[in-house]
Structure 1
């Protein structure tokens, strides 16, 4: 089936059909939907290679994520996919396993695949070789979840959110509040959240105990059980992500503690699974799907304008403190036992 047949059936010109596939931002949504519907009915498939040669665009966005095992990034990818389809783009996702060498390799792979732009989550924008390679190639990109003054980002205020969470725990009477995090060096988000914890503790006039750093989520329960031994254990935990919070609740159970009676637990991310727990997880919820959607929209605007995104295009989206059932007032007998 030919492009001429699609144009005739849709009642538009051949040029309009071409624009609908090659430059969908140049036609109205109604026209694009009409052309796409007729093309499907006629089993017409535009030649992607020919389209790339004509327009120098592949209509493909590269996506670099640390993992899809964490529902946070899966929810973000869903937002990316929906926004990409709405804008006439395909996506090519790659995961890095939180490894710096894999970040750089992923960018190299996607650039070789002639993507029009990239959405990335990197370990540390300040030292990222992957971003340096992107800047050298002059390919538009936007960072999701990362927050850095020199790069275009879509994120939340992780530091402020955790500081507020600490304040909430202090108002519940907690004084021994510990933080549980993944490896700080592997994530600027974890670093920002730890700074927020330190700030919240300092504002409350409390001494912050050493960070409970858990390199691997899979082994977190054993490490956390060691932190929950009776001698001067914390009465509350602030966790840098929901998966660690879920494992903290498991560790509390194995240690003979009841959440939230003996131990309050706060997570960060707002994954749907947290609401299905007993007790339901109290957490700082990020708009994960919206982070993905806004990342695509910013990138598509830059691609359409033939320019790179600048740092001043960054968006800071609102977070929400989701009250669950895993936080409660500090018990006086707990405080007495810890003194």
Structure 2
């Protein structure tokens, strides 16, 4: 599969300085490319993880990085959280907004009808900005029983006419953003920079893992959908991340083009409480997700160790 070495020149960061260190520029383009749609969840912004210039300033910088590279990202909105000015920035940049349920309710914990009411409210609210075409399940939870899973899907598709924006490249980017903000709040600049330096390599590894899973299950490259979140860390590293993905062979495409890949028409074979990649939901379903589990354990051990006894 794809090596990470070719993208290291845009990922390594100088300790405490945040400057990119040129290590080794790739000698040639990757032998094989893949289609990639970039998506951002939890708009208008993860306020607790906002940068110093706030949601508006951070959004402006994020959109500048994306539009400079002609990346047709989609932002998924929690509509009860306001943020009209932020959402209008997305539309002014020519980028689409999708439905992420009104209040990011957990389908495993709230009644189905309460959850669907939030999906309906967000569907209506988004019409001010663009016709809402796509829905992203909060937490990627799609129902822990067959009955809930199928009823939620039927309402989203039949009643609202939404296309489900499945994720193939799941990752712990959101946790890195938390750890980064916690380190900055504690005044621990060295730890913050160390976490920052994990961001791009982590997402490249997540991408490589998704491509490997697709090859093992389907015997081919599939169009990939990357899950990111609107937060300070994703703002700071948006440009370098997109450059690193491009160096690994990514060809950025609109979400509807990625979702046209036949992989997204395969049956949903998973029933359970986990929020997982679509590539894990299709047959053959496995009960453990090794890369995600091992990566989580490693990050927590290094950046959030338990207190000494």
The TM-score bracket by the shorter chain reads: under 0.3
The structure with the largest alpha-carbon Rg is 1
Which of structures 1 and 2 has the larger relative contact order (alpha carbons within 8 angstroms, sep 6+)? 2
Query: Relative to total residues, which structure has the larger strand share, 1 or 2?
Result: 1
TM-score, length basis structure 1: 0.26
